[in-house]
Chain A
């Protein structure tokens, strides 16, 4: 797992940040709009957005006097690829152990 995946996964390890990320994946929103929709304060939204932004999951652009946030499609793609590899390895490992149950003996005495 590279640093990019690590930061992205850690940023999404918080339920409020996942909620913000999910909302932004539907449409771009400004901080004030997110604060109105969520049961947390505007300063709290700001802090969560900074973590998501620093992790490269979202980016912002100016729209008039506001700054609007949206999900970075490249970051989402990178995470998706990570999970595909991860699940591919997990499934292969599962299949190997299912097909050769003897390999599953305890190894603590080696």
Chain B
């Protein structure tokens, strides 16, 4: 069996915001920070949406009105923990049969300081492309988290 560690990407960032604000910005404020260039639909993103409940959808609505699924909310534990299903293939298309998980933990370090830890796991679901996708996510998440941190501090939900 391949060790699970090989199929995991971890990153964290510390934001100047309370745990509640960080969680709210990540979820209800999703559209305020999700990078506009990260979309899978053919058109530009009008809105990036993360529905605030277990079983909720995670998707993009494009300027042409179409919607593209990204995954769903697996665990909803405000304001400390969130697990999302990322169900986008290596060809950047939604596949309901593909399951990778993104767990996000919000760890308070002070009244206005929160460490946000992100773990993208089950990447061996990509089969032969596992190593390649791990590199993609390993290089992609830090920039996304930087954008999130900027929003949590300048444009909080």
Contact = CB atoms under 8 A, between A and B. Distances in A.
B25 to A, nearest CB: 10
A50 B36 contact: no
A80 B33 CA distance: 33
A49 B35 CA distance: 15
Interface stretch (A38-46, A87-95, A99-107): A38-46
B31 A46 contact: no
Contact of B156 (A42, A67, A69): A67
B153 A50 contact: yes
Contact of A67 (B147, B150, B154): B154
B151 A46 contact: yes
B153 A43 contact: no
A8 B103 CA distance: 37
B14 interface: no
Interface residues of B, number: 15
Query: Dominant SS at the A interface?
Result: helix
Interface in A3-48: 30-32, 41-47
Contacts of B150: 43, 46-47, 49-50
Nearest to A32: B155
B34 A46 contact: no
A72 interface: no
A47 B153 CA distance: 10
B3 to A, nearest CB: 35
B80 interface: no
A42 B154 contact: no
A42 B153 CA distance: 13
A31 B157 CA distance: 12
A91 to B, nearest CB: 39
Interface of B: 31-36, 146-147, 149-151, 153-156
20 contacts: A31-B32, A32-B155, A42-B155, A43-B35, A43-B36, A43-B147, A44-B36, A45-B155, A46-B151, A47-B147, A50-B149, A50-B150, A50-B153, A50-B154, A53-B153, A53-B154, A60-B154, A67-B154, A67-B155, A67-B156
Given A31-B155, A43-B32, A43-B35, 10 more contacts: A30-B155, A31-B154, A43-B34, A43-B151, A44-B36, A46-B32, A49-B150, A50-B149, A50-B153, A67-B154
Lowest 7 A-B CB distances belong to which pairs?
Answer: A31-B155, A50-B150, A49-B154, A41-B36, A46-B150, A47-B150, A46-B151
